[in-house]
Structure 1
Amino acid sequence: MLTGIRLTSLRLRLVVVFALVALTAAVSASGIAYWLNREAVLTRTQDAALDDFRQDMQNRAAALPLRPTQDELQRVAEQMGNGGDGYSVLLIGERAEGKPIVGVSDPDMFTKEDVPQSLQDAVNERQEIGAGNTVPYHLYWQRTERGGKPYLVGGTRIVGGGPTGYMFKSLDQERQDLNSLGWSLGIATLLALVGSALLAQAAATTVLRPVHRLGEAARQLGEGKLDTRLRVSGTDELAELARTFNKTAASLEKKVADMSARDESSRRFVADMSHELRTPLTALTAVTEVLEDEADSLDPMIAPAVNLVVSETRRLYDLVENLMEVTRFDAGTARLVLDTVDVADQVTACIDARAWLDAVELDAERGIMARLDPRRLDVILANLIGNALKHGGSPVRVSVRPLDGELVIEVRDHGPGIPEEVLPHVFDRFYKASASRPRSEGSGLGLSIAMENAHIHGGDITASNSPEGGAVFVLTLPRDGSSIEDCEAVGTGDADASGAAGADGRAVADDSRPQGEEDTL
């Protein structure tokens, strides 16, 4: 009956509880009803039989002579047994002192051996006459079984002298009636159990449907659908819960909208500021290049200041370019420009462009082809290798290997490694491992930009320490980024899409330091 219904744990608990309560109530009610009916049926039957037997003993047996003959005793026993009350009679008298005689209405049905000895003793025991007892003998009865069938045995004797009588009545019909009643009550209990299960299912559905809707709404809210609301009906606890959910969702939507607006405003401000700074920085860069060319002819007192201006101008230029790249990632406008390249050639070109050939050991077989964005791979490698050269120890080893449809590039140095408390933060923006040096040559954005470029490829970067010493950065990228490209609009290669790319398509950098170099370690 419940086939096909998906029973959640709460639904199952409700059904079980309902069923247990119904079963307990039905069994209790059926048990009490059976017991009461059983006692009523048996009491009514035995009272009727015993009253009739007492009346016959008074009317018939008491009329016999004190010393009746066998025939007289037998005739009265048969008259009493054939009275239509359905019991057999056994009369015991004496025709002379010490000479008992017996009269039986049905010898095949009832004999003296069928009378329990305890009942015989009770019937023949003379009671003391007193205020609470006016007669010496009483009527006694007992329920017994013979051949698996129940019987009622009763007995008494005539006060003042006369025969002792016993009656024997079958209770098999009453037992059958009680068995029928028991089966009826059992079927009623089973029906009550099934009915309770159906009611529990209906109740569970009524209760759990709004709970399910609440769960679905919470899931949609967690997925970012902040306009999700529940339909409220009624005034019960579930309706109040729905109202509370709607209020919470509305408050959350408002707060997220406010935060998004502030975040968007901040990103727009950074982007606008970076864009506005590029024009004067371009002019400053041109001037600093001229000053750098003329540095040898400058006054020795002025040359250090000129070198500082040149260095800080370049650092400011790198910072602006990095900020613009970060805002593109935050705004979701960064796009891939995919090409099929030889990875070993790309790594070699990155190292050669920055004059790192003498400081880097390259372990890369030619012929490992991958479809990716060469410019973004160059930015990632420049940051990872430059970070290793600056904060690690030589030699820096770069290894490239294919692995199950992925490209794995490992950059390892031989320095002191990364402190354990710093490892979780190496890819955070502007994070610096030492608070005592908040100002450094790097912008504090290099590794975070590298991570963003890995993510846009569908890859990842991990940082750890080697057991032999030194830091290990592992870049993992899919060898075929076509699936990523299918999900995004391909960039056109303009200034915004290329980020820090120069005219040759590689990251703008001086001869010793990559664009976006990290300085957190």
Structure 2
Amino acid sequence: MTDPQGGRRGLSAARRTVQSRIRFTSLRLRLVVVFGLVALTAAVSASAIAYWLNREAVLTRTQDAVLRDFQQEMQNRASSLPVHPTQDELQHTAGQMANSSQRFSVLLVATDEQGRTVVGNSDLDTFTLEDVPKSLQKAVNKQQSASSAGGHAYHLYWQRIVDGDKPYLVGGAKVIGGGPTGYMLKSLEPEAKDLNSLAWSLGIATGLALIGSALLAQAAATTVLKPVHRLGIAARRLGEGQLDTRLRVSGTDELAELSRTFNSAAESLEKKVADMSSREEASRRFVADMSHELRTPLTAITAVTEVLEEELDAGTGGLDPMIEPAVRLVVSETRRLNDLVENLMEVTRFDAGTARLVLDYVDIADQITACIDARAWLDAVELNAERGIMARLDPRRLDVILANLIGNALKHGGSPVRVAVREEGEELVIEVRDHGPGIPEDVLPHVFDRFYKASASRPRSEGSGLGLSIAMENAHIHGGEITAANSPEGGAVFTLRLPRDASPLVEEEKRNGNGTEGNAR
């Protein structure tokens, strides 16, 4: 047969393992992401700054060299032209200027003697006046006032432009004192290619830095999370009762200190639990020994009280009427003490884990009838149970449960007590209802506690306060449960739920080596 409780435990353990792995992976992922973001931010910032600085340096160096060469050519060649040169003169001078070390295109613009505009171009149809921005033409042709001695009325101007996807540097100047206006065009494509190569290099370096940071974060996460994972496993084992669990401590960092603290706490907990267990064992042994030792004198006392009780019932007058109440008190208290000792013995067996099920097939209606008849409760109990409802249970323990529930109802609730039996699937449900005042709400949570009595002013009532707790223990050993409640119609209702077949529990006990036996007739 399947073990539903074992299956639930296995599922719960698997769920805890999956949850711990998810949390572990999540924390690892967060560490990797944080490391990656920090590395990415640092790498991108460094790459952007490096690219911007190199870009400005490359462009400024190229620009200064070209403009300086163009200015020198304007001074050496364009200024030697007449005030009104011809187109051939402009064309020849432009070609000479373009052959400088910087290799730029030159455009010379002037007016001839008839006042017409003539143009000289080093690269025909490649660099024309339309290629020069209007703002640059206006700045070049605008005469400025000389600001200092040796200052010039016309200055050299430049501008960077993009034609299509190609960058260019355009510069212009005018010959002072009359003469042509010169423009030059220098392609910056080689520099742009160099800068693109630099950008690719910086991008690759950023990617490698990101990958390196991820690997570093993975290694750091492993270093940090392994002790945390081991600590989680150790804490879980400690919670499952493995109090000898300890962590291996290495190093002097915070995690090592945490491991030492855990080991210290586990050791202290183990000592305290061991001390409590030894005290509990000693207490159980004391109760068991005391109960066992009390049985011998109680047997003799019981025999004497039975004789006295027979004398009282016979009414022969052999006893002094003055001592008759005392004899009756002794008889009742002896019977109560005997019940208390038997209950203590039973409680001790439950606490020690030695209580065993002896199973048999029983007719529930017959079992309840036998319990009521044995205690002479037939006139006070109404039974609503169909014959033929069979269950595989321990008859003796079921009798103990029923006797305690029905006896409690008769004692505290009053007759008539109604006992109803029904089936709910694989469960057997027995309800015991009385017609008393019910159970106070503040008492309901404690009715199954040992030695608990609802009225503190009657500590010496007939009951020992163990009956309902023993009934609950017997229900638990069957895999069942007892609940207490107040009926809306008045009175208290105790509901006993038991499996119709307790064999799976017996099989589980056998597998666990506890030696529980089941009999069948």
Scaled by the length of structure 2, what TM-score is found? 0.89
- SS class of match (2:302): helix
Q: Tell me, yes or no, if structure 1 residue 468 matches structure 2 residue 485.
A: no
Matched, 1:186 2:207: no
What is the deviation of 1:442?
Answer: 0.5
Q: What is the match of residue 38 of structure 1? A: 55
| Counterpart residue number, 2:16 | none
Give 2:478's aligned residue. Answer: 457
Q: Which residue number in structure 2 is paired with residue 508 of structure 1? A: none
* 2:256 corresponding residue in structure 1: 239
Q: Is 2:394 the partner of 1:373?
A: yes
Matched, 1:334 2:351: no
When structure 1 is superposed on structure 2, of 39-48 and 438-447 the one drifting more is 39-48
Against the structure 1 CA distance between its residues 179 and 428, is the aligned structure 2 distance closer, same or farther, given a 3 Å change threshold? same
Equivalent in the alignment of 1:502: none
Q: Is the 8 A contact 2:121 2:128 kept in 1?
A: yes
Structure 1 unmatched runs, 5+: 494-521
SS at match of 1:420: coil
Query: Residues of 2 paired with 1:95 and 1:430: CA distance?
Result: 130
Identity of aligned residues (%): 78
Shift of 1:175: 2.6
Deviation (angstroms), 1:363: 2.3
Q: Does 1:68 align with 2:85?
A: yes
Equivalent of 1:89 in 99, 106, 127? 106
Q: Which residue of 2 aligns with 1:389?
A: 410
Which has the larger displacement, 13-22 or 166-175?
Answer: 166-175
Cα deviation, 1:306-340, whole Å, max 9, x if unaligned, reads 11111111111111111111111111111111112
Give the structure 1 partner of residue 9 of structure 2.
none
Deviations 1:205-255 (A, max 9, x none): 111111111111111111111111111111111111111111111111111
Between the aligned partners of 1:210 and 1:236, the Cα distance in structure 2 is: 11
Aligned to 2:305: 288
Aligned to 1:123: 140
Unaligned runs of at least 5 residues, structure 2? 1-20
Of 203-212 and 102-111, more deviation after overlay is shown by 102-111
Residue 98 (structure 1) shift: 4.0
How far has the Cα of 1:465 moved from its partner? 2.4
CA contact (8 A) 1:123 1:138 kept: yes
Question: The residue matched to 2:441 in structure 1 has which SS?
Answer: coil
Taking the aligned partners of 1:468 and 1:31, their CA distance within structure 2 comes to 84
Could you tell me which residue of structure 2 aligns to residue 174 of structure 1?
191
Q: Which has the higher helix share?
A: 2
Task: Find the aligned partners of 2:379 and 2:150 in 1 and give their Cα distance.
Answer: 130
- State whether structure 2 residue 314 is matched by structure 1 residue 314: no
Equivalent in the alignment of 2:281? 264
Indicate whether 1:58 and 2:79 are aligned: no
Shift of 1:91: 0.9
* Displacement of 1:491: 6.1
Supply the AA of the counterpart residue of 1:317. Answer: N
CA shift in 2, pair 1:483/1:144, >3 Å = same
Please list every run of at least 4 consecutive aligned residues from structure 1 whose deviation after the TM superposition is greater than 6 angstroms: none
Name whichever of 249-258 and 23-32 sits farther off.
23-32
Residues 406 and 476 in structure 1, CA contact (< 8 A), matched pair in contact too: yes
Structure-2 change in CA distance of 1:470 and 1:56 (3 Å) = farther
Q: Alpha-carbon deviations, 1:361-390, whole Å to 9, x = none?
A: 222222222211111111111111111222
SS of 2:112's equivalent? Answer: strand
Q: Is contact 1:336-1:490 (8 Å) kept? A: no
What is the distance in 1 between the residues matched to 2:174 and 2:516?
Answer: 121
- Counterparts in 2 of 1:474 and 1:326: CA distance versus 1, 3 Å: same
Tell me which residue corresponds to 2:171: 154
Report the CA distance between 1:132 and its aligned residue: 8.6
State how far apart, in whole Å, the 2-side matches of 1:107 and 1:247 are: 92
Give the counterpart of 1:304 among 325, 343, 364: 325
Query: Is 2:506–2:516's contact at 8 Å kept on the other side of the alignment?
Result: no
**What is the rounded CA distance, in whole Å, between the counterparts of 2:145 and 2:372 in structure 1?**
128
Q: 2:10 maps to what in 1?
A: none
Paired position in structure 2 for 1:439: 460
Aligned with 1:294: secondary structure? Answer: helix
Return the alpha-carbon distance in structure 2 between the equivalents of residues 227 and 478 of structure 1: 37
Deviations 1:148-178 (A, max 9, x none): 3322111111223321111112223333333
Letter in 2 for 1:29: A
* 1:26 is the counterpart of 2:47: no
2:28/2:218 contact within 8 Å kept: yes
Q: Distance in 2 between matches of 1:256 and 1:403?
A: 41
How far does the alpha carbon of each residue in 1:471-505 deviate from its partner, in whole angstroms, 9 at most, with x for none? 22222222221222121545689xxxxxxxxxxxx
Q: CA deviation at 1:97?
A: 7.3
Q: In structure 1, the residue corresponding to 2:38 is in which secondary structure?
A: helix
The CA deviation at 1:264 is 1.0
Higher alpha-carbon deviation: 311-320 or 164-173: 164-173
- State yes or no: 1:412 paired with 2:430: no
CA gap of 1:8–1:468, structure 2 versus 1, over 3 A, is farther
Work out whether residues 57 and 158 of structure 1, in 8 Å CA contact, stay in contact via their aligned partners in 2: yes
Deviations 1:411-455 (A, max 9, x none): 222332222222221111111222222221100111111111111
**Count, aligned residues:** 489
Q: Which residue of 2 aligns with 1:448?
A: 469
The one-letter amino acid of 1:147's match is G
Query: Tell me, what secondary structure is at the counterpart of 1:407?
Result: strand
Quote the Cα distance in structure 2 between the aligned partners of 1:97 and 1:300: 168
State how far apart, in whole Å, the 2-side matches of 1:182 and 1:175 are: 10
Q: The residue matched to 1:228 in structure 2 has which SS?
A: coil
Distance 1:181 1:491, change over 3 A: closer
1:112 corresponds, among 129, 135, 143, to 129
TM-score (norm 1): 0.89
